[in-house]
Amino acid sequence: MKRIALHADDYGYHPHNDSYMLRLLDSGILSSVSIIATHSSKQSLRRLRSLGKRKSISCGLHFNIVEGKSLASPNRIPSLVDRKGNFYPRHVFLVRLLSGRIQKADVAEELRAQYAALSEDGIHITAIDTHQHMHAFSPVSDVVSSFAKEKKLEVRSFGSVIPQTIQSKFIVSFFQILAYLSSVTRNHELTLPSSWRVPHTKSWSIMSWEGVSYDCRTNDTVFHVVHPGLNYDTNRSYTTLLR
């Protein structure tokens, strides 16, 4: 059988799912995870750190600015949060971003807070991506790319996403349109943000974008981004590999 590379997003989202991902990491089914620092409990991070002492685990920061509470003080990131200190949901965030109301300095402040939280808990971060793929758009893309360069982190490049189905090709095209618009709004340039152009060593297939016709078990040339135990993936062909 082909060796299929699986990467899990959203470690830390819920303790039950964290336990499931830890078992998959321990068995070698998962090769890496991205951690959502805004949701992660101390216990889940401690268990991941403990597993990392006896197994080689690649951990990324799953930078989140569209769900839940911030780690930075809300009064330091006013363009990202509402009056209650909650992040704006994705659709509201995108409207604010495309209308020029998301401040680059606020994104950078929250990014540093989330990275610091994981580092202080002893998690070694080697890569960065974003919850709901928000680094596809400027100014988030600019901040993430700059921070990754500073910390020597690998960025999940949208130029390396290889859509496998008509559904995912449509989603990638839609993201490209929004990415161009964000660049025009922010940088006054009709070009794709840096997250689409950053050099990359991996190709990705995002299973929450793929249609049901795709069987990931036949493709060992890409890393498949999955969400074990969560309901994000429209294509779940990988689940037979988890048994």
Full DSSP string of 147-206:
HHHHHT-EE--GGGB---SHHHHHHHHHHHHHHHHHHHHHHS-SS--GGGTS--S--EEE
Q: Give the tokens for residue 170.
A: 């449509």
Q: Of 93-102, 214-223, 234-243, which range is least confident?
A: 234-243
Q: What is the mean pLDDT of residues 212-238?
A: 92
Q: What is the mean pLDDT of residues 204-210?
A: 96
Q: What confidence category does residue 2 fall into, taking pLDDT thresholds of 50, 70 and 90? A: low
Asked if pLDDT for residue 199 goes beyond 90, the answer is no
Distance CA 179, CA 134 (A): 10
Better-scored residue on pLDDT, 242 or 209: 209
Q: What is the mean pLDDT of residues 36-55?
A: 95
* Token pair 């509470």: residue: 69
Better-scored residue on pLDDT, 167 or 243: 167
Q: 5-242, which class in CATH?
A: alpha beta
Q: Please, what is the average pLDDT of the chain?
A: 95
Asked if pLDDT for residue 61 goes beyond 70, the answer is yes
Q: Angle 6-8-12 (CA atoms, 0-180°, nearest 5)?
A: 160
- Write the pLDDT tens digit of every residue in 152-189: 999 999 999 999 999 999 999 999 999 999 999 998 99
Instruction: Give the strands of the sheet with 154-155, arranged side by side.
Output: 154-155, 125-130, 58-63, 32-35, 5-11, 223-226, 204-206
Give every CB contact of residue 201 below 8 A, 6+ residues apart in sequence: 154
Q: What confidence category does residue 202 fall into, taking pLDDT thresholds of 50, 70 and 90? A: confident
Asked if pLDDT for residue 243 goes beyond 80, the answer is no
> At 34, is the secondary structure helix, strand, or coil?
strand
Distance CA 202, CA 127 (A): 12
Domain extents in the chain: 5-242
The pLDDT of residue 242: 82
The pLDDT of residue 1: 45
Distance CA 74, CA 83 (A): 9
